Amino acid sequence: MQTYFKAFLFILFIYKCNSARILGICHIPAHSHQQLGTALLTGLAEKGHEVTMVTPVAPKKSVKNLKIIQLKYPPLHENKQLNMFDMKAKTIFEKILFMEILGLRVTDLVLNLTEIQTLLSEDQHFDAVIIEQFVNEAFRGFCYRFGAPCIGLSTVAPNRWTNRQMGNPFNPAYVTELFLGYSDRMTFFQRLTNAVVITWEMLLNHFYVLPKHNELLQKYFPGAPHLYELYFNTSLMLLNAHVATNAPVPLVPNMIPIGGYHIKPPNKLPTDLQEYLDDAKEGAVYFSMGSNLNSANMTKDRINALLRVFGGLKQKVLWKLDNNSLLHLPPNVKLSAWFPQQEILAHPNLKLFITHGGLLSTMEAIYHGVPIVAIPIFGDQEMNAANAENGGYAAVVPYEQLNEDNLRHAVNEVLKNPRYRNNALQRSKILRDEPIPPLDKAVFWVEYVIRHNGAPHLRTAALNLHWYQYLLLDVALFVIVVTLSIVFMFKKLINVLCRKSRSSKETKKNSKQKTN
């Protein structure tokens, strides 16, 4: 009996030695962001790590080893009824500036919360700090405060917030600005626009955004070094990206794509939905604009166009709508403020997903081989839609062109042309074809960083270079100066030789004249 007890204590000791204490900060109160943060931190807790999660939205189910610090703060915008559809009218520069200013405000607001101040005042130890990378650069102070490696979690593909801090190459000839809505196959004028916008954004980041975040860092983390010292020493960046849905781009070794890690085997549908979809002999269409966009906020003419198009379909339609007061609802349309999206997409009778083009929705559709009609609005949605259209599994209807004719054409095209379904199924194979599940991959790399004390060997030397060195401008200047010097010297030598030649000829000529 004593032997068994000793063995138990030994196993418990080994378990404790292999478990780590991890702080995870997921501060954005949006369902898609929380879904990704919760999936990762829950996965780490289930592997035996002691995880503390800072979040405004506590998970519905308690998880062993997962401690929740719930944030309570006011709305992110003065206008509680902020209509994101209005963002379509803004220019690309206004959109970028809006996000950066909003990020500064949210960062200041969160760091000032009582829950955060209490956490910072406590004498705790963490082996790693995981931060959602989303316009919150001053959060690097948590890594300084707890002396732990910093791990970023990006809810979108590689972008301006991830590439620069990791030293990742992003050539504007084929790597697009997140908000522009271009695929990696750009026309000349798209490449020109992309280059101008990326250059402007880098200047904005360098001269305004990072200095402002450094002010917040010094305000809330006294004694912290300059933000650059922390920002450019991020140990790992986990990317919600996959080549099945995102354009292939170069990645440095400590940028790890884990796209699709939030997708789980579908649960059983509620009885009413199961029967509704089972009875859809002609198939079904699912329409949702995601968790941050309410299709009830669309203009009246667009809502009426949707109703007319849906009413003309022989398929049944599920419409996620927060306002169920629509009049004259077609008999084939079912409304609800919430639907179990992954379970619906997994149903064999679902033929089409009409979506805003959010990355999670796009990945879930592709995972289940469902083609898309995309109506992108904001953020990375336009880029996701462009990539989906380029991949042949989606048709895109720009919001400003959303009317009955355009929507009907796109819906019928995707429903009737088998290439969309075939391409979606092919992409599904690509998304699923991984050596290990993406969540296990994410857990492995977090543990890898902890095991190797921040894994500094993965950090690229590009981060040690000045901007002119990175762009080889000093080398180019040297080559130009040397080339011009050689040309100048060669020209001088030619001139000297020519003068000597002329002088020699004149001497000979004068000598002959004297002789005569």
Q: What is the amino acid identity at position 80? A: K
Domain that holds residue 377: 271-432
Can you say how many angstroms the Cα of residue 43 is from the centroid of all Cα atoms in its chain?
20
Instruction: Specify if 214 maps to a domain.
Output: yes
Calpha distance 214→227 (Å, rounded): 5
Phi and psi (nearest 5°) for 301?
-65, -35
In the numeric block, which tokens belong to residue 427? 């992409």
Whole-model pTM: value is 0.89
Kindly tell me the sign of the dihedral angle through the C-alpha atoms of 189, 191, 196, 197: positive
Look at residue 394 and give its three-state secondary structure: strand
HEC-encoded secondary structure of 418-447 = HHHHHHHHHHHHHHHCCCCCHHHHHHHHHH
Which residues of the chain register pLDDT less than 50? 1, 4-17, 79
**Side-chain half-sphere CA neighbours of 237 within 13 A:** 30
CA distances from 163 to 144, 175, 181, 239 (A): 21, 11, 18, 11
In the numeric block, which tokens belong to residue 141? 């102070």
Instruction: Specify if 141 maps to a domain.
Output: yes
Calpha distance 254→235 (Å, rounded): 7
Instruction: Specify if 277 maps to a domain.
Output: yes
Instruction: Specify if 4 maps to a domain.
Output: no
> 211 and 280 share a domain?
no
Phi and psi (nearest 5°) for 278?
-60, -35
> 237 and 316 share a domain?
no
Calpha distance 217→142 (Å, rounded): 9
> Residue 377 is inside which H or E element, if any?
none
Model pLDDT, residue 499: 80
Query: 124: which DSSP letter?
Result: -
- How close are the terminal C-alpha atoms of the chain, in Å? 132
Instruction: Specify if 516 maps to a domain.
Output: no
Instruction: Specify if 7 maps to a domain.
Output: no
Q: What is the amino acid identity at position 197? A: V
Model pLDDT, residue 509: 62
Q: Are strands 333-336 and 350-355 parallel, antiparallel or unpaired?
A: unpaired
Count of structural domains, the chain: 3
> 318 and 419 share a domain?
yes
Query: 177: which DSSP letter?
Result: P
> 476 and 457 share a domain?
no
> 154 and 177 share a domain?
yes
Q: pLDDT digit string (tens) for 382-419? A: 999 999 999 999 999 999 999 999 999 999 999 999 99
> 496 and 413 share a domain?
no
Instruction: Tell me the helix, strand and coil percentages in the chain, rounded to 5.
Output: 50, 10, 35
In the numeric block, which tokens belong to residue 63? 């998880």
Q: pLDDT digit string (tens) for 105-152? A: 999 999 999 999 999 999 999 999 999 998 999 999 999 999 999 999
Query: Angle between the 92-111 and 188-204 helix axes, to the nearest 10 degrees?
Result: 30
Model pLDDT, residue 515: 59
Instruction: Specify if 476 maps to a domain.
Output: yes
CB count within 10 Å of CB 408 equals 17
> 234 and 165 share a domain?
yes
> 391 and 487 share a domain?
no
Q: Are strands 372-374 and 236-239 parallel, antiparallel or unpaired?
A: unpaired
> 413 and 476 share a domain?
no
> 36 and 160 share a domain?
yes
CA-nearest of 210, 177, 214, 196 to 96 is 177
Q: Do 423 and 234 contact (CB within 8 A), yes or no?
A: no
> 197 and 52 share a domain?
yes
Q: What is the CATH number of the domain that holds 172?
A: 3.40.50.2000
> What is 258-277 written as a DSSP string?
-TTTT-----PPPHHHHHHH
Q: Are strands 255-257 and 372-374 parallel, antiparallel or unpaired?
A: unpaired
> Residue 354 is inside which H or E element, if any?
strand 350-355
Helices of type H across 328-452: 341-345, 359-367, 381-390, 404-416, 418-432, 438-451
Can you say how many angstroms the Cα of residue 133 is from the centroid of all Cα atoms in its chain?
9
Q: Are strands 128-132 and 66-70 parallel, antiparallel or unpaired?
A: unpaired
CB count within 10 Å of CB 437 equals 15
Kindly tell me the sign of the dihedral angle through the C-alpha atoms of 195, 173, 246, 357: positive
Instruction: Specify if 455 maps to a domain.
Output: yes
Look at residue 50 and give its three-state secondary structure: strand
Calpha distance 47→41 (Å, rounded): 10
**Side-chain half-sphere CA neighbours of 82 within 13 A:** 10
Sequence-ordered list of residues with C-beta below 8 angstroms from that of 141, at least 6 positions apart, any chain: 111, 217, 220, 221, 224, 230
> ∠ at Cα 371 (367, 374), nearest 5°?
110
The β-bridge partners of 336 are: 320
Query: 176: which DSSP letter?
Result: P
> 236 and 337 share a domain?
no
CA distances from 28 to 149, 233, 238, 412 (A): 22, 23, 17, 37
> 143-181 as b/e, with b when 16 or more CB fall inside 10 Å?
bbbbebbbbbbbbbbbbbbbbbbbbbebebebbbbbbbb
